[in-house]
Amino acid sequence: MNNLLSRLKRHFMVFLAVLGPGFITAVVDNDSGGIYTYSQAGARWLYLPLWTLLPITIALIVTQEMCSRMGAVTGKGLSDLIREEFGLRVTFGIMLLLVLANFTNIVAEFAGVATALDLFGVSKYISVPLAAVLVWFLAVKGNYASVEKIFLFACVIYVAYVIAGFLVKPDWHEALITSVRPKLILDGGYITMLIAMVGTTIAPWMQFYLQAAVVEKGITAKEYRESRVEVIVGCVMTSVIAFFIIVACAGAYRGHPTDIKDASEAALAFKPFGQYAFLLFSAGLLNASVFAACILPLSTAYSVCEGLGFESGVSRSWKEAPIFYWLYTLLIVCGAGVVILPRFPMVEMILLSQVLNGMLLPFILIFMIVLVNKKGLMREWVNPPFYNAVAWVTAIVVIGMTLALTGISLRNPG
Amino acid sequence: MTAENFDFLFFTELIGMPVYDLKHRRIGRVKDAAIVPLINPSRVDRFLVGNGGAWLSIRYDQISSISIAAGIQLSNERLYPYHSDEYMLRIQRDLLDQQIIDVNGRKVVRVNDVTFEIRRDDRDSLSVLEVDVGVRSIFRRLVQGVMPSAFVRRVQKPIPPNSISWDFCNILEADPLRRLRLNISNEKLEKLHPADLADIMEELGPADREAIMGTIDSEVAAEALSEIDPKMQASILEALEPEVAADIVEEMSPDQAADALYDLADESAEEILEEMETEPLEDVRELLEYDEHTAGGMMNTEAIVLAEEMTLDQAMLKLRSHEDLLENTHLLFLSGAGGRITAAVPLARLFLADGSTQLKELAYERLISTRPAEKERRVTELFDKYNLLALPVLEDDGTLAGVITADDVITVLRKK
């Protein structure tokens, strides 16, 4: 009996251990960029963007699955693989893009902190520097791992979106129809929103983070099956929450679609909760922003140092891994520094960062597709044709949208 | 040494260098260079030269001079097309951008560039001097072919160099056949401290990790393995051939072997156990019966037990036959009737006592012990409370089941 219990416990531990990277990545996916992008999509375009969620979810599952498979089979991070297969110059270029994209995301997270606490009258000159110091110490002093579970648990707040989605009594009929009926409008604002939705859901940094986390956990090709389930569950959960954010906002802005300008407008989704609306929105956004702010700078510093062959890791001292620490610190200091500039346009910049994510995604995606099809690397785990098709279509569609957007803005400047 | 007869060249400078024949016509540019380690571990044996579509393979003894300014001048016109050669370690393809182990610095590094020494004997030849890592070599790679070499050398001056002597480089190759052809051994790694080797292994991918484990001396492998994160231990053992894994597990102390096997799938553990010799096998099997988080799961079965009426002289004789155990022994145990453990003697007390002293007189006044089923947490409390270095674990009948030492406790505490 005792033996059986301990064996059950061991199986449970294995499950928990594997129930890590994919799930956490999916949860962090709904960061401040995610919340604002989906809110804006719902508030400005009502139910219209819902149809994108299904294809985006499929693309998300495919890309996340590719990453975790590469991590499990090769035991190497994405930037390691890019370096080994494409050489230093290519790696350097990609790392520049990644730092740029991730920096804007870090800015978005700190902006998320600022706007969340601003609802309660806390000045950003206090909240943002405090958050920056907290984030820096959590990772460097090595107690991030214990706090991670708190962040994860606090994400239960997202359930409020689901409840709000029902309470606003949305037009379910229309919501369901728009969910499956694609609609393209050749409008700069609409296409920008589409790119941002892809970018925030399938963010480039997630691919690097997820693969590194799979490697870090030591998940092997054998245990990989359990990992795949976890990736799929995580991705579906992300999209379900995105769906309800859009529905809740569409419900709140029914009849008077608006561009969201600040946190109080995005918090309107929680109107059915009355006096608790601000509190719920603020707590959810704050948790998501700080959570992602902990992961993003660290993940960026790791990816860059791995790719370029510098020593990395918080277990090393500042002297042993100077570039790692400098990069990490600069990302946080500059990210927070930008946000506390006077009159910094918070929500616009958050949305813009997600558009940038979307525009950079195809570059990363194409490298991933090439890597995951290399027989020498992946052996029998090379990409199945369906995965290749989805990944290529995603890359091409996003490139197409980016070109269309460029064309539209060139034709109607301003 | 003067500047004329001693010089160096970077691989980034060699790539793209023009090659001229006897009539000083340019026949192509260098595309890659290869070492043939079976012949010479550091000399560049072949230069692969791109000539339109096809590549030529030029041997080191067909070259008369090499210089940055004038390129490569041949001394012989019999050129052969390049066809892939399994015995070649090609620098661009096999070394650049790959990971190697810096044995001296005890870490995994990524190769950015390679520095050659230009040997000026009757003909010029290149010999690998160092492998370059760090910012300076990254800079060289980024501007390679864009800026002239002399300019690059000047600009890079203020950046501190960061290189690893070729003698300290351990190349990674997962394919055993290729390893043989390229004469790559992991011998250099055997000189590392097992804990350092374990750290290095944790940084590598599974293929390289398993290649190293399978090729180095099984005693070193065992010591390193027991320092590795338990989950990774399991995946390494699982990937190795059961016989190889069994050889390694045999060299581990029974408690560490049991720890490594705990995390393994039951069938894989059984496969390994079946390949093991009888003697350590019994102990490992016994330990596997205990719950990992109890005194039984923490303890080691190896201990020295002596009869309580022995004198020091007799004991010393006996200890010589237990030489292999002494390194990790802090306590000797005394047994009375029926093998019951009656007392413990700290090893250090033996040094000062007279030869005729009975061991009993040297023992601690009180025997502090525990049971196999005791919780991990209680065991650590005992160590803390009584400032122990080692703690005997006794069966219900008073015989010795095993010993927990301070390093076992530290492992448990670190895991939290």
Q: Distance between alpha carbon A10 and the CA centroid of its chain, in Å?
A: 31
User: What span, in angstroms and rounded, lies between the C-alpha atoms of A76 and A387?
Assistant: 21
pLDDT at position B5: 41
Of A2, A74, A87, nearest to B97 by CB-CB distance is A87
In chain A, whose CA is at the least distance from the CA of B293?
A6
Residues A120-143 have pLDDT tens digits of 889 999 999 999 999 999 888 867
Cβ contacts (< 8 Å) between A308 and chain B: which residues?
Answer: 110, 138
d(CA A329, nearest CA chain B) in Å: 19
User: What span, in angstroms and rounded, lies between the C-alpha atoms of B142 and B135?
Assistant: 10
Report the interhelical angle of A277-308 vs A204-217 (nearest 10°): 70
User: What span, in angstroms and rounded, lies between the C-alpha atoms of B277 and B259?
Assistant: 18
Beta carbons of A309 and B109 less than 8 Å apart: yes
Beta carbons of A76 and B205 less than 8 Å apart: yes
**Antiparallel, parallel or unpaired: β B169-171 and B305-307:** unpaired
Q: How far is CA A259 from CA A45, A93, A194, A196, in A?
A: 9, 35, 15, 14
Does residue A18 surpass a pLDDT of 50?
A: no
B206: number of Cβ within 10 Å: 21
User: What span, in angstroms and rounded, lies between the C-alpha atoms of B365 and B378?
Assistant: 22
Three-state secondary structure of A352-378 = HHHHHHHHHHHHHHHHHHHHHCCHHHH
Beta carbons of B291 and A2 less than 8 Å apart: yes
In chain B, whose CA is at the least distance from the CA of A321?
B134
Among A70, A215, A220, most B C-beta atoms within 10 A, so best to mutate, is: A220
pLDDT at position B289: 79
B48 in Cβ contact with B55 (< 8 Å):
yes
pLDDT at position B2: 36
Interface of B with A (CB under 8 A): 96-99, 107, 109-112, 133-135, 138, 141-142, 204-207, 209, 229, 231-232, 235, 238-239, 291-292
Name the CA dihedral angle for B137, B141, B142, B146, rounded to a multiple of 10 degrees.
Answer: 130
Task: Determine phi and psi for B372, rounding to 5 degrees.
Answer: -60, -30
Residues A266-306 have pLDDT tens digits of 888 888 888 888 888 898 899 999 999 999 999 999 999 99
Beta carbons of B292 and A311 less than 8 Å apart: no
Q: Distance between alpha carbon B39 and the CA centroid of its chain, in Å?
A: 26
Asked if A218 reaches chain B (Cβ–Cβ under 8 Å), the answer is yes
Beta carbons of B142 and A92 less than 8 Å apart: yes
B109 in Cβ contact with A309 (< 8 Å):
yes
**Which pair of tokens denotes residue A59?**
């693309």
B114 in Cβ contact with B43 (< 8 Å):
no
Cβ contacts (< 8 Å) between B207 and chain A: which residues?
Answer: 74-75
Does residue A86 surpass a pLDDT of 50?
A: yes
- Identify the sign of the CA torsion A9, B237, B287, B271: positive
pLDDT at position B263: 76
Mean of the pLDDT values across residues A8-20? 58
Asked if A74 reaches chain B (Cβ–Cβ under 8 Å), the answer is yes
**Which pair of tokens denotes residue B163?**
């290189």
pTM equals 0.83
Cβ contacts (< 8 Å) between A90 and chain B: which residues?
Answer: none
Cβ contacts (< 8 Å) between B375 and chain A: which residues?
Answer: none
The sheet that has B305-307: what strands, in order across it?
B305-307, B331-335, B341-346
d(CA B182, nearest CA chain A) in Å: 19
Does residue A14 surpass a pLDDT of 80?
A: no
Cβ contacts (< 8 Å) between B232 and chain A: which residues?
Answer: 218
Q: Distance between alpha carbon A259 and the CA centroid of its chain, in Å?
A: 22
Residues A319-357 have pLDDT tens digits of 889 999 999 999 999 999 999 999 999 999 999 999 999
Question: Chain B neighbours among A 290-349 (CB < 8 Å)?
Answer: 308-311, 323
d(CA A278, nearest CA chain B) in Å: 38
Among B93, B106, B110, most A C-beta atoms within 10 A, so best to mutate, is: B110
**Which pair of tokens denotes residue A205?**
């940094």
Report the interhelical angle of A2-18 vs A224-252 (nearest 10°): 60
User: What span, in angstroms and rounded, lies between the C-alpha atoms of B399 and A349?
Assistant: 72
Tell me how far apart the 2 most distant CA atoms of chain A are, in Å: 75
Left, alpha or beta for B302 (phi > 0: left; psi -120 to 50: alpha)?
beta
Of A60, A89, A63, nearest in space to A78 by CA: A63
Confidence of residue A364 (pLDDT cuts 50, 70, 90): very high
Does residue A179 surpass a pLDDT of 80?
A: yes
Cβ contacts (< 8 Å) between B110 and chain A: which residues?
Answer: 83, 308-309
Beta carbons of A222 and B238 less than 8 Å apart: yes
Of A54, A384, A397, nearest in space to A228 by CA: A384
**Which pair of tokens denotes residue A130?**
């405090």
Beta carbons of A83 and B229 less than 8 Å apart: no
pLDDT at position A412: 74
pLDDT at position A69: 93
d(CA B328, nearest CA chain A) in Å: 29
The size of chain B, in residues, is 416
Of B112, B207, B235, nearest to A218 by CB-CB distance is B235
User: What span, in angstroms and rounded, lies between the C-alpha atoms of B143 and B156?
Assistant: 11
User: What span, in angstroms and rounded, lies between the C-alpha atoms of A20 and B288?
Assistant: 28
Beta carbons of B138 and A308 less than 8 Å apart: yes
Of A88, A63, A22, nearest in space to A304 by CA: A88
The sheet that has B113-120: what strands, in order across it?
B6-10, B113-120, B124-132, B163-165
Q: What is the pLDDT along chain B (416 residues), one digit of tens a residue?
A: 333 444 889 999 999 899 998 888 898 999 999 999 889 989 999 999 987 788 889 999 899 999 888 889 998 878 888 888 788 999 999 999 999 999 888 889 999 999 999 988 888 899 999 999 989 999 999 998 888 888 888 888 899 888 999 999 988 888 888 888 888 888 888 888 988 999 888 888 888 888 888 888 888 888 898 888 877 888 888 888 888 888 888 888 888 888 788 777 777 788 888 888 766 677 787 787 788 788 888 888 888 888 888 888 888 888 888 777 777 788 889 988 888 888 898 888 888 888 888 888 888 888 899 998 899 899 999 999 988 889 999 988 888 888 998 888 888 887 76
Strand partners, B124: B120
Beta carbons of A75 and B138 less than 8 Å apart: no
**Antiparallel, parallel or unpaired: β B26-35 and B44-51:** antiparallel
**Which pair of tokens denotes residue A315?**
């277990």
H helices of A169-223, in order, are 172-180, 188-201, 204-217
d(CA B268, nearest CA chain A) in Å: 13
User: What span, in angstroms and rounded, lies between the C-alpha atoms of B306 and B314?
Assistant: 10
User: What span, in angstroms and rounded, lies between the C-alpha atoms of B364 and B348?
Assistant: 12
Does residue A59 surpass a pLDDT of 80?
A: yes
User: What span, in angstroms and rounded, lies between the C-alpha atoms of B51 and B28?
Assistant: 5
**Antiparallel, parallel or unpaired: β B80-81 and B163-165:** unpaired
B29 in Cβ contact with B50 (< 8 Å):
yes
Beta carbons of B112 and A92 less than 8 Å apart: no
Beta carbons of B205 and A89 less than 8 Å apart: no
Residues 6+ apart with CB under 8 A from A100: A356, A360
Strand partners, A409: none
Confidence of residue A68 (pLDDT cuts 50, 70, 90): very high
Rounded to 5 degrees, what angle do the CA atoms A224, A211, A22 make? 60
pLDDT at position B1: 35
Residues A325-335 have pLDDT tens digits of 999 999 999 99
Asked if A222 reaches chain B (Cβ–Cβ under 8 Å), the answer is yes
User: What span, in angstroms and rounded, lies between the C-alpha atoms of A198 and A409?
Assistant: 20
User: What span, in angstroms and rounded, lies between the C-alpha atoms of B249 and A371?
Assistant: 36
What residue has token string 């070394």? B95
What residue has token string 């995606």? A365
Residues 6+ apart with CB under 8 A from A13: none
**Antiparallel, parallel or unpaired: β B124-132 and B113-120:** antiparallel
Please give the radius of gyration of chain B, using alpha carbons only, rounded to the nearest integer: 30
pLDDT at position B20: 92
